[in-house]
Structure 1
């Protein structure tokens, strides 16, 4: 009777454990078709929403394509981009945005994580609140920052006008708009970065920190010589993920805050792909830009693994 109360999955796994690999496979899958039938739903999703669009992007990049006609032009879409000043500006702007998002975002997240790691009353609630921004999508972050930095009635301008008597054209000036977009992107990713840094700080052996304190090391020396090197695996992981985020996931905030303006001041590579297709119906050029963006991120990731990982300390 006890065996009848056990879950069927447990009985199946333990029943197969006593058989050889060939016997188990023959007993459960009486033919080669059954495993493929079980995989079919997953394979269908991958083919329809991943593999087919990926392959079709390469096909479109060789065409001068619109919604009404198309013609094969080989690599002309790629060569045209080399002389497109607006596109080259968007490439440079993307690297600037990415550098600011990664450097400022990780430095700010590490500082907040160290403060949140201190043994204070209500620390668990405080840490939970810090992680909340990561649950918000970039579009919602754009809505929040638009309400804050609206040149007409935003909260930030209310305070600046109250204290210094000045209203700033945050979203209407090409000198200010990039900072708002970068700030929204940093805030969106901040909770994710804090979460991993907190986990890394909690995994550091207390014996090492206490031994350094006994030897006379002050708080800064303990952080710089012990804690920061042991956080290097976390930092390396966050650099890779934040670079990818800055290249791709800033689209929502840019689209809602500035739509790439003013005067293309916030047009990055990912937004330029969308804008090329929307404004000019240049499906071929947009596809070529997508491929370049993809290959660029892959190349940056490979370089990061070959260079940055050498300075990562995985042991205590």
Structure 2
């Protein structure tokens, strides 16, 4: 029977834990509590107190068709960006895992996008996919009006999906590569000896063994798409055109900081938090059942 490890100096343990607990309380629980309180009150735009109104703000938000439009766009954005990012990262990881020439350089190059801040990614994609410059301008001259994110909502949504997916590829790539390198080579060699080609080995051997990694990245990518997409949207489209890219997190900003309605913005942030928790619960409750860890 193994003896359980104990930490005899409780004061030292508390001192080591205290900074992290303070950070969590100050930057997570305190703001969440304030947002929850504000969602049940009417906050005056320029201060001066607030008034308790119960569920009035929630009813106002849930009866707003513009808000439901932002929910629809956010769901499409999160699913599309997560699927595209995971697919691209898996393909890159499979190529690097096969130890192609220069694979060490490729590892660094594929991870670099994740090191860039979201506004920088948005600014780069805004110029690369500008309809009046570069390659896109040449395509528009051949096919007039084919691509114009400034006027076409579908083009604008596609552009921020591409930017979000590209920014997450490096993060997903590292996890997929680590998962692939943990698979015994003898298993893949046995598959090759049985006549399985590279694609068949990926589909029948590597993908099932990557199920825990895939599930983890699915949760992280969807959560990130709902929460950390503000920088890309603000730089690339500013929620336009005609609110076609007004995601839930961006609507919180426009209502709270531009519209000076702190109570309405707090209500939307609480709903967004509940939605993310519900999506995470559904993923762990239903999707994780199909994940095998052994």
Corresponding residue number in structure 1 for 2:264: 285
Structure 2 Cα separation of the partners of residues 171 and 198 of structure 1: 37
- Report deviation, 1:304: 0.6
Structure 1 Cα separation of the partners of residues 178 and 273 of structure 2: 31
Could you say if the C-alpha distance between residues 199 and 46 of structure 1 is closer, same or farther in structure 2, counting changes exceeding 3 Å? closer
Corresponding residue number in structure 2 for 1:269: 248
- Report deviation, 1:50: 2.5
Could you say if the C-alpha distance between residues 42 and 103 of structure 1 is closer, same or farther in structure 2, counting changes exceeding 3 Å? closer
Could you say if the C-alpha distance between residues 109 and 38 of structure 1 is closer, same or farther in structure 2, counting changes exceeding 3 Å? closer
- Report deviation, 1:37: 6.2
SS of equivalent to 1:176: helix
RMSD: 2.2
Greater C-alpha Rg: 1
- Structure 1: 5+ residue runs without aligned partners? 1-19
- Report deviation, 1:243: 0.6
Structure 2 Cα separation of the partners of residues 21 and 189 of structure 1: 40
Structure 1 Cα separation of the partners of residues 123 and 6 of structure 2: 56
SS of equivalent to 1:239: helix
Q: Does 1:174 align with 2:165?
A: no
Corresponding residue number in structure 1 for 2:39: 61
Q: Does 1:47 align with 2:25?
A: yes
Preserved contact between residue 131 and residue 137 of structure 2 (Cα < 8 Å): no
Preserved contact between residue 151 and residue 172 of structure 1 (Cα < 8 Å): no
Q: Does 1:190 align with 2:181?
A: no
- Report deviation, 1:181: 0.5
Structure 2 Cα separation of the partners of residues 38 and 199 of structure 1: 31
Structure 1 Cα separation of the partners of residues 215 and 21 of structure 2: 32
- Structure 2: 5+ residue runs without aligned partners? none
State TM-score, norm by structure 2: 0.90
Q: What pairs up with 1:64-143 in 2 under 5 angstroms?
A: 64-65=42-43, 66-69=45-48, 70-143=50-123
- Runs of at least 4 residues of structure 1 off by over 6 A? none
Preserved contact between residue 111 and residue 173 of structure 2 (Cα < 8 Å): yes
Structure 2 Cα separation of the partners of residues 42 and 112 of structure 1: 36
Preserved contact between residue 171 and residue 180 of structure 1 (Cα < 8 Å): no
